[in-house]
Structure 1
Amino acid sequence: MSTSSTRRPAQGAGRSGSTSRAETAVPSGDGRAVRKPAGSATRPRKAEPAEPAKRAPRAARLRKEQDILREAERQFAQFGFEGASLESIGAALGISRHNLLYYFPSKEALYRRVLDEVMGQWLQGMGAIASGEAPEAALRDYIAAKMRFSRERPSGSQVFTKEVIAGAPRYGEAIAELVLPPLKADVRAFERWARQGRIGRVDFTHLMFLIWSVTQAYADLAPQFALLLGKPALEDKDYAAAERLIVRLVLAGLKPDAS
């Protein structure tokens, strides 16, 4: 006995487009109705996890970096960029070249960081003239700061001098960017004092070059000066005598009747 070939439709499969679950019409962004299953409320998006705060460098790492920078400064001052090596710097500190590269990724990066540190300290003393009201007091403070730098950090001055004598191939842009603005500010201060009749008018840019040169000589040429004075190294009294003379000569050259 044969059965009928007509099958009953599955429950809920009546009209075209219907589904086995109830649906609701939800407007889309362009105005059309989009059908979504009933009860399927839009879930809020999970908030992105906040990035963890960067940790400050550990004190031990900072101390090691400073040890490396001091030794690198000494060797760059003595041997220049080409003569110094990461191996020799690391050997002086009892660490391997590989370990040193953990702190500084290359010799050039280490060299630039040394010069950054040197320039940072040097620039700290460059505000005395631009911010000063009295020419004599400002010049005395400025020259004292330059002489103090030469006395306390001769190796830093020597690294800088070697770079400049070589034509500043690795630090020229930084020198222009860092030094030119305070130099211009100092020249403007001199110009203001000259207009007020408080100092004589000279080429103030070259005046600054002369002050830099003569004060820096007591870092770069200190061994020669000590040799000629018959002593193993310059003493505090030598730097003090040089500072007094430099101040005297600069102030004498800036007297209003000397213009």
Structure 2
Amino acid sequence: MSLATSTPRAGRTRKRTRIQAANEVRILDAALEVFSTYGYRGATVDQIAERAGMTKPNLLYYFRRKPDIYLAVLNRTHEMWLQPLEQLDPDGEPAAEIAAYIDRKLEMSRDNPEASRLFAMEIIQGAPILGPILAGRLKGLVDEKAAVIAGWVRAGRIAPVDPHHLIFMVWATTQHYADFETQIRAVLGQKTDRPDHFETAKTTLEQVFLKGVEG
């Protein structure tokens, strides 16, 4: 599948209206729900159009094929997933920056569980669609921020931890709350509906991670 197909057809026109932009968001929001529920193979364009509240021909004006919709949803999710890491400030206090990164990732899992699960399904399948992007944009950003953490280690500002594996651990623990929400709910029951559920998780993760990186 060509990565270029992720651009909506309407987005390639010179004059892109607010209605077109709003409709693209509607389609991608609907597609996220459908793909995260049925997977790529089980999802249909008809289901996405129905969920978006538009006709199939109208939807196909924006995205020609199901693969184009899927790639656009994954691209949007991928960019959203990178934002918390992009905000890691090399000039900040290491403990505060790591805690803030954990908080942002956990909040993203809380607020966008369907996006997290869809992204996880793509990765588990070997990233057949996102592979080139992961090897480019993702790798570049992770290497850049790993270098920042390595600098903190060399300066004695945090303990000598491996930067890449520290980032991987943050991914694993924070995204668990979205990808394995059903399992967490099975264990905790109604506690997961309490307002302090994610605050407790956030505090616990911060304590564990910051204890591990204290210089």
- TM-score interval, normalised by the smaller of the two chains: 0.7 to 0.9
SS in 2 for 1:230: helix
How far has the Cα of 1:190 moved from its partner?
Answer: 1.4
Spell out the pairing of 1:8-19 with structure 2 (5 A cutoff): none
How far has the Cα of 1:234 moved from its partner?
Answer: 4.1
State how far apart, in whole Å, the 1-side matches of 2:138 and 2:151 are: 20
Unaligned segments of structure 1, at least 5 residues: 1-53
State how far apart, in whole Å, the 1-side matches of 2:194 and 2:57 are: 40
Spell out the pairing of 1:155-170 with structure 2 (5 A cutoff): 155-170=114-129
**Bigger proportion of residues as helix:** 2
How far has the Cα of 1:91 moved from its partner?
Answer: 2.1
How far has the Cα of 1:57 moved from its partner?
Answer: 1.3
Bigger-Rg structure (1/2): 1
- Give the structure-2-normalised TM-score: 0.88
State how far apart, in whole Å, the 2-side matches of 1:144 and 1:136 are: 12
State how far apart, in whole Å, the 2-side matches of 1:178 and 1:214 are: 22
State how far apart, in whole Å, the 2-side matches of 1:103 and 1:232 are: 42
* Deviations 1:204-235 (CA, angstroms, capped at 9, x unpaired): 21111111011001111123212321229544
SS in 2 for 1:112: helix
Alignment match, 2:140: 181
Q: How many residues align?
A: 203
Greater Cα offset, 94-103 or 148-157: 94-103
SS in 2 for 1:211: helix
State how far apart, in whole Å, the 2-side matches of 1:112 and 1:165 are: 16
Alignment match, 2:81: 122
Greater relative contact order (Cα 8 A, min sep 6): structure 1 or 2?
2
- Give the structure-1-normalised TM-score: 0.74
State how far apart, in whole Å, the 2-side matches of 1:197 and 1:237 are: 35
Contact 1:65–1:103, Cα closer than 8 Å, also in 2:
yes
Change (3 A) 1:195 1:131: closer
Alignment match, 2:38: 79
Spell out the pairing of 1:4-43 with structure 2 (5 A cutoff): none
Contact 2:191–2:197, Cα closer than 8 Å, also in 1:
no
SS in 1 for 2:189: coil
Contact 2:109–2:174, Cα closer than 8 Å, also in 1:
yes
Alignment match, 2:67: 108
Alignment match, 1:153: 112
